[in-house]
Amino acid sequence: MNLSGKIALVTGASRGIGEALAIGLADHGTDVIICDLESESKGLANTHKQIEKTGKKCWSYFLDVTKKSQIQKMVSDILNDIGSIDILVNNAGILTPTSLEDIDEETWDSHFEVNTKGVLLMCQSVLPHMREKKFGRIINIASIAGRQGSPTQGHYASTKSAVITLTRVLAQEVGEAGITVNAICPGIILTEMGKNNLGSEKEIAHWSNVAALKRLGDPKDIIGPTVFFASNLSDFVTGQSINVCGGIYFH
């Protein structure tokens, strides 16, 4: 699964899964474009440094994925200055736990803005370029929450369910152009966000015991499936959503 010669764009790359995927793609041969909010500049700079240690090129941009004008300018700058986007990894996302009974409109709207609209806007911005090349790999980071939901995460689960459906439909709309669109549904990954949402070592132990593999995920566990979807080994795979959860969920 050597991706040499390809250029990948990863959103939300300052930490967690996004950081791991950006570095992992570089380890497998891609040059990498990373982006995140300006408030995450320190983490983004660290990711940039780690990618350069692999010997691959890296470019960094500040980006709010809810702002169409920012996305369009970034993509235009990338195509003018770098020349290509072969792989798009839509990773940027947020989660603030709250019950559906108590959720306020601002929290509901902000999650859909980042987690769902952000994916759509990023796809819309790169698709003309991918259509022109007759090649592209779009990989959306969803969640097993989008499969089954979870208390205090109903809003988040709804956004990720929408991403899964968006993936299926977009794959049908762009397949004739040589573009594949797939999603990855991580389980409980021990990122900063994941640990905060579990809240305690007791919860970590509980969910570790629930998993068939008797452990929770590390961000690096998401690299393999992402590289597969980005590589020519998945040329005949599109519109699919794969659970990467250590055996917590089986549908």
Tokens of 134: 């007759």
Q: Does residue 156 have an active-site annotation? A: yes
H helix count then E strand count, the chain: 10, 7
Cβ(229)–Cβ(142) below 8 Å:
no
Catalytic annotation, pick one of 156, 180, 230, 248: 156
pTM, two decimals, is 0.96
Cβ(137)–Cβ(230) below 8 Å:
yes
Check residue 189 and report its DSSP letter.
B
Determine which helix (DSSP H) or strand (DSSP E) holds 21, and give its type and residue range: helix 16-27
Cβ(155)–Cβ(140) below 8 Å:
no
- pLDDT tens, position by position, 63-114: 999 999 999 999 999 999 999 999 999 999 999 999 999 999 999 999 999 9
3-state secondary structure of 67: coil
Domain topology for 7-189+219-243? Rossmann fold (3.40.50)
Determine which helix (DSSP H) or strand (DSSP E) holds 179, and give its type and residue range: strand 179-186
Rounded (to 5) percent helix, strand, coil in the chain: 50, 15, 30
> Mean pLDDT over all residues of the chain?
95
